[in-house]
A and B are shown apart, each in its own frame.
Chain A
């Protein structure tokens, strides 16, 4: 059985939490005591039915205000799959929490209120989906019950969204008309929309294929060097990390970055047992033929397809703080287990979320998405997003506050 992780995004009151509540409720994933708690809370919808949003609004402040502030993770499973849902806030001020949820998802569900159509938050979330490199976008056009389940409503919104997707070069987009409140097309097909012949949301989620990345080569960012230094393991030196990419086998030639030293894999170890290969995603220990100076933050990569190692790079970034990005200020770039001092040398442009145009000559503040040039104190080890998405990602930390101030996608300059 495999796991699929997805996020629900949309504007305030588009019904994200209700959609998730409905999915959980209709798949019998809510237990008696949890249902009891919902009833005790006594939050009702306008039509008197129980408000399912309360299942995911886990904070007191959220329940008081009836809004979602931070992302909530929910877990359920059917016969076919396990699901991890990130229920993300819709308010623009909590965009960084939405990005947190989106970064760990395979698929994004963008909810659109059938009464409102494509609005600014739809555009912003789609933009972020593109920036983060999410593989699949599912647009759920919600509240169809309030628009008499009209095909024309669905078609118009679909046309509008496809235009946006084309501008953003979002390739893999699907659409489902739903009513989260009434349960139409959530778990089973709706009787109200006979014009829709596609799957229900649950059928879709159970069957959707997420492309596994077709990266060339592999990377192992070194997290920790295991050196027991005991009498019997005096010369033991193992490099612990998680394999990214197509995996590796014993005997393969490797390059250590940024030093550029070369060696070969002499052994792969997991749970104190030898392995012949290490798969994508496996947390293993590598041994090399030569004794080299390798520590946390170094990258061991396939010699056949090495990563980039550059001091000046470009980056797309999403800014998370009220305090504006400062040119020339030192920030820390963290990519995998490596911290590098960097400065933003230049803001190339910022994106206008409304019309997807590039604006030059403006400050970068809260929720802005921009393209910048970065100058680093030492070589950054990375790949272009199209070549090796998992190795194009990083965060910026402001060393004065230690806060994570931006998400970045690195590009070669």
Chain B
């Protein structure tokens, strides 16, 4: 087995442990390459059976249309259940308060909707596509990461996690976040997508798009960005290296039209994947703080 086979076998093993240990798991699906990879791995883990969990999408209302279309197509193809929870509903119910100003983002509000959804459906385990190479707080997180009754992660009190033995025992109200591709790097994911010929949303490839330059990055010129006269809209050849909300995911200059182009581009890149995420630039501990609150 080569290294991709090892990573794949480990991820399948983890997905099956979730199925075996929990009563009501869910797979958190964002429409990005990492959660698409998880769906592919789940097929390998459970086919010809159905997935023992639904896909859950926390929709901020600020998604790229291409991502939503891709999501719906994938659900149709796999025949699996999709649950969509809307941040807008949390706002309408007064549980979340919309940020104001030009840099407003619903990124942080997702946590409120996510925790609500977990409680409403009684999910005891949520599978996510986070990887340890993405960010330094994530580099510290266990594969089975326990969240308390308030959805909080306590990084100073993580359970020991030995070998491939995962302790998923929890009290009622707690839940476990499970990260099957913890040990994959960005490059591993792309190499795997290429090897397995996994379909991904078109915006990962180079395309013409109207963009504006904000905070040192090219952002999609979309109404949710609250554009005004100061914003100089340009037409550029770009692609997205990571896909999140329109408000917090920056585009990169790119002519990459194929997976080989993307792989070559990332190899030559001198910035990290999360370098294109505005949500991580808030402070030195931005990710850790969000995770403590219950973020993915």
**A residues adjacent to B (C-beta < 8 A):** 1-3, 31-34, 37, 40-41, 55-61, 63, 69-75, 82, 84, 96-97, 99-100, 103-104, 223-224, 226-228, 233, 236, 240-242, 270-272, 279, 281-283, 296, 320, 332, 334-337, 390, 393-395, 397, 399, 402-404, 407
Contact = CB atoms under 8 A, between A and B. Distances in A.
Nearest to A59: B155
A69 to B, nearest CB: 6
B102 interface: no
A279 B161 contact: no
B160 A397 contact: no
Contacts of B272: 31, 33-34
B100 interface: no
B46 interface: yes
Interface of B: 1-3, 5-6, 8-10, 12-13, 16-17, 19-20, 43-50, 52, 132-133, 135-140, 142, 155-156, 158-165, 167, 169-171, 182-183, 185, 269-272, 274-275, 284-285, 288-289
Residue of B132, B163, B183 contacting most chain A CB atoms (<10 Å):
B163
B147 to A, nearest CB: 13
Nearest to A280: B1
Given A60-B285, A393-B163, A283 B45 contact: yes
Contact of B17 (A33, A60, A75, A337): A337
B288 A58 contact: yes
28 contacts: A3-B3, A31-B272, A33-B271, A33-B274, A56-B136, A58-B138, A58-B288, A59-B285, A61-B156, A69-B156, A70-B140, A72-B139, A73-B139, A73-B182, A75-B133, A103-B161, A104-B162, A224-B16, A224-B19, A226-B49, A233-B48, A242-B164, A281-B9, A337-B17, A395-B165, A395-B167, A399-B169, A403-B159
Nearest to B271: A33
Given A240-B46, A282-B1, 11 more contacts: A3-B6, A33-B272, A58-B137, A69-B156, A70-B155, A224-B16, A226-B46, A228-B49, A395-B165, A404-B160, A407-B160
B10 to A, nearest CB: 8
B284 A226 contact: no
B6 A281 contact: yes
A337 B22 CA distance: 12
A228 B183 CA distance: 30
Shortest beta-carbon contacts, A-B, top 7: A58-B136, A283-B12, A402-B169, A223-B16, A33-B275, A103-B162, A96-B160
B158 A60 contact: no
Given A70-B155, A226-B49, A59 B161 contact: no
A360 B142 CA distance: 35
Nearest to B167: A404
A1 B136 CA distance: 26
Contacts of B165: 334-336, 393-395
Contact of B269 (A31, A337, A390): A31
Contacts of A404: 159-162, 167
A267 to B, nearest CB: 13
Given A228-B48, A228-B49, A59 B20 contact: no
A100 B17 CA distance: 18
A397 B159 CA distance: 10
Contacts of A56: 136, 139
Nearest to B187: A77
Nearest to B276: A33
Nearest to B48: A228
A59 B271 contact: no
Given A31-B270, A240-B45, A407 B158 contact: no
Nearest to A243: B9
A272 B44 CA distance: 8
A354 B30 CA distance: 52
A412 B254 CA distance: 61
Contacts of B185: 75
Given A31-B271, A41-B284, A233-B48, A97 B158 contact: yes
A2 B4 CA distance: 9
Contact of B284 (A40, A75, A394, A395): A40
Given A70-B158, A96-B160, A224-B19, A82 B137 contact: no
Nearest to B162: A103
Contact of B139 (A58, A227, A283, A337): A58
B267 to A, nearest CB: 11
A100 B161 contact: yes
A71 B160 CA distance: 10
A332 B139 contact: no
A225 B190 CA distance: 31
B6 to A, nearest CB: 6
A104 B163 contact: yes
Interface centre among B10, B139, B185 (most CB of A within 10 A): B139
Given A2-B2, A397-B169, A72 B136 contact: yes
Contacts of B137: 58-59
A404 B176 CA distance: 15
Contact of A227 (B20, B49, B155): B49
A233 B47 CA distance: 11
A224 B15 CA distance: 10
B136 A223 contact: no
A32 B166 CA distance: 36
B183 A73 contact: yes
B162 A407 contact: yes
Contact of B44 (A1, A270, A336, A397): A270
B139 A393 contact: no
B146 to A, nearest CB: 8
Kindly name the residue among B8, B161, B288, B289 whose own CB sees the greatest number of chain A CB atoms within 10 A.
B161
